[in-house]
Structure 1
Amino acid sequence: MELRHYRCVLVVAQTLHFAKAAAELGISPPALTKQVQEAEALLGTRLFMRSKRSVALTSAGALFVVEAQRALEQLAQAQEVARRAGRGELGKLEIGYVASAVYAGVLQRAFARFRAAHPGVTLRSRELPMERLPELLDQGRLDFAFVRPPMQYPEGLDSVVLLRERFVLAVPEGSALAASSGALEAQALARQELIVPEQEDGTLEVARRGGFAPQIASRPGSLLAVLAQVSLGAGCAIVPQAVMEGIRLPGVCYRALAGAPIASEIAVAFRRHEHNSAARAWIAQLRAAALP
């Protein structure tokens, strides 16, 4: 059976009058009669009892009409789903992020803005090591990656900056640096053991300003792991301001760094030539919110 058979049978069932049904469908009564007869032949059963004066559904016809109506409603829903998906209103997006995007509230704000405009799109997110994010994005296993620049991206990826802040110093509570008041000069860290986070540019810039080679104690990975090492007295760490505002651990104090602020950014990376309509809609929203 074809869609035309379903529609013809349903209109006849609604009107119980072949001439009226034919007029509603925009075809001639003989053409409608032929369509209904074809449907009955394909089904192997009568759908209507017809006489010169009346048209009535058979018991098989009545049951068929219920299911046929459901089928057409499902078809209409499928068409609407396809249209909405094409407009980026439906779908699923996979997002990877570094923890500091959460500490700074960047991830939450980006999710809230997109969900408000596209409530039918499912956003699935997971924290991942920063060095893995560009590759997963390039492979299509992620649709977006919230990262800490600067980073090397594979060809075909692009990014926009959503937050620009400064680096600060995390020091063990009770240390001489913790007791110091005011901003600390870079030279004060020349003899300090340094715990280095995934994004090491802040640490390297402080060492450059202080004119010393950094004494790296460890590279534990995530910012929380870095702060855990600081809290245990293993050394100091140069961390983003968002960490100071979002994480308080026993045994950790934060101090400002003297001199011009060392910029720290959070950006979101994505594929430059994206085919997913929902992803394209979010890219447009992210570009509109990007910092210059």
Structure 2
Amino acid sequence: MELRHLRYFVVVAEEQHFTRAAERLGMQQPPLSQQIRALETELGFDLFRRHPKGADLTAGGTVFLKEARAILAGVETAARRAAQAADGSEGMISVGVTSSSVAHPVFPDILRAYRERYPNVTLNLNEGNAAELTDAIETGKIDAIFLRQPVRKPPRLLFHQLLEEEMLLVLPARHRLLTKRASKAMPTIALSVLADEDFILVRKHGAQGMYSNLVLACEQVGFTPRIVHEIDRMLTNISLVAAGAGISAVPASMREFHKERVAYCRIRGPRALLVAPINLVHRIDETAPAVVNFLALAKQVSKQPR
């Protein structure tokens, strides 16, 4: 039994006439009658009661019509969904993010654009630090990740820098280095005057690149920072600064967090080390259409002015 036999049967049942059914199918009537006879022989019962004016369904034919339509509809649905999966317009992808990367406006812009263009793709988000996410994508648990500085670069992964922004110093709102200013412009503070401050940083294992770059920048201006707290998430940095536990540095796009309790300042120091990129990471051999579409759209959206 083939799908064409089911289609032939359904058309004959709808037309209740072999000649009209043959015309609708674009074939001769005798071959159509032969195909239906062969189907009945395979099933072991008559599907139609034939008479001079046409053909009526038997009791078995009535039940078989319902099932044949369901089968054909299922095949059509399967073919459509398979085609959508093949071109990436249906399916599921898993994306990992660090808390500091999602703070940048580019991330919601990418998500919005992807959901609008591919509404039938399920997008699962997973938050972690850079080390955790790198492990997850390397082992196939996640399809793509957004992070700041890479903690390591496994050979099976590709890293695309989408953009770069400056790092800002975060001080408690009443810090001694802050003076009352008539201007609302963001103050600038030299990195070299922070030698006696207590620093709060993301754990070295979780954000090794940014951690190491900040330490190196301090060393280049003459001191090694005194690190009093190492935490897992960059948002916690800002909360601890607001509580007066020390100072920190975060990407500029995070400057809205606790802005009534902390002060964000530009840093005068080694410029090349005081930046925070956003990297999009994926496996080098990635071929899943939904993931490939996501990567392409993310790169496209990141180039748009904002």
Q: TM-score, normalised by structure 1?
A: 0.90
Kept in 2: contact 1:102–1:108 (CA 8 A): yes
Task: Quote the offset at 1:169 in angstroms.
Answer: 0.7
Task: Quote the offset at 1:77 in angstroms.
Answer: 1.5
Distance in 2, Cα, partners of 1:260 & 1:135 = 31
Distance in 2, Cα, partners of 1:126 & 1:205 = 31
How do 1:52-201 residues align onto structure 2 when only pairs under 5 Å count?
A: 52-179=52-179, 182-197=187-202, 198=207, 199-201=210-212
Which residue in 2 is equivalent to 1:218?
Answer: 229
Query: Which moved further from structure 2: 160-169 or 33-42?
Result: 33-42
Kept in 1: contact 2:130–2:151 (CA 8 A): no
AA of the residue aligned to 2:175: S
Task: Quote the offset at 1:4 in angstroms.
Answer: 2.4
Kept in 2: contact 1:202–1:239 (CA 8 A): no
Kept in 1: contact 2:171–2:248 (CA 8 A): yes
Query: Which moved further from structure 2: 197-206 or 222-231?
Result: 197-206
Q: Deviations over 1:263-283 (max 9, x none)?
A: 211121112221211111122
Pick the aligned partner of 1:266 from 278, 285, 295.
278
AA of the residue aligned to 1:254: Y
Which residue in 2 is equivalent to 1:248?
Answer: 258
Task: Quote the offset at 1:23 in angstroms.
Answer: 4.2
Task: Quote the offset at 1:170 in angstroms.
Answer: 0.8
Task: Quote the offset at 1:51 in angstroms.
Answer: 2.3
Which residue in 1 is equivalent to 2:184?
Answer: none
Task: Quote the offset at 1:260 in angstroms.
Answer: 6.2
**Are positions 1:236 and 2:247 aligned together?**
yes
Distance in 2, Cα, partners of 1:166 & 1:157 = 26
Relative to 1, partners in 2 of residues 1:105 and 1:201: Cα closer, same or farther, differing over 3 Å?
Answer: farther
Task: Quote the offset at 1:83 in angstroms.
Answer: 1.0
Distance in 2, Cα, partners of 1:219 & 1:260 = 23
Q: TM-score, normalised by structure 2?
A: 0.86
Task: Quote the offset at 1:43 in angstroms.
Answer: 3.2
Distance in 1, Cα, partners of 2:45 & 2:178 = 89
Task: Quote the offset at 1:249 in angstroms.
Answer: 5.8
Q: Deviations over 1:229-276 (max 9, x none)?
A: 2122221101111111x3116642222212564221112111222121
Distance in 2, Cα, partners of 1:167 & 1:7 = 66
Task: Quote the offset at 1:44 in angstroms.
Answer: 3.5
AA of the residue aligned to 1:70: A
Which residue in 2 is equivalent to 1:42?
Answer: 42
The unaligned stretches of length 5 or more in structure 1 are: none
Distance in 2, Cα, partners of 1:229 & 1:25 = 75
Kept in 1: contact 2:217–2:270 (CA 8 A): no
Query: Which moved further from structure 2: 127-136 or 18-27?
Result: 18-27
Q: How large is the Cα RMSD of the aligned pairs?
A: 2.3
Task: Quote the offset at 1:49 in angstroms.
Answer: 0.3
Distance in 1, Cα, partners of 2:161 & 2:117 = 21
AA of the residue aligned to 1:278: A
Q: Deviations over 1:137-168 (max 9, x none)?
A: 11111111010024422112112222311011
Kept in 2: contact 1:160–1:269 (CA 8 A): yes
Q: Deviations over 1:185-234 (max 9, x none)?
A: 11111111111123314522430342111111121110121122212222
Which residue in 2 is equivalent to 1:2?
Answer: 2
Task: Quote the offset at 1:45 in angstroms.
Answer: 2.9
Instruction: State the aligned residue count.
Output: 291
Query: Which moved further from structure 2: 188-197 or 35-44?
Result: 35-44
The unaligned stretches of length 5 or more in structure 2 are: 182-186
AA of the residue aligned to 1:32: L
Kept in 2: contact 1:178–1:255 (CA 8 A): no
Distance in 1, Cα, partners of 2:217 & 2:44 = 84
Task: Quote the offset at 1:57 in angstroms.
Answer: 1.4
Distance in 2, Cα, partners of 1:90 & 1:195 = 43
AA of the residue aligned to 2:247: C
Distance in 2, Cα, partners of 1:249 & 1:290 = 26
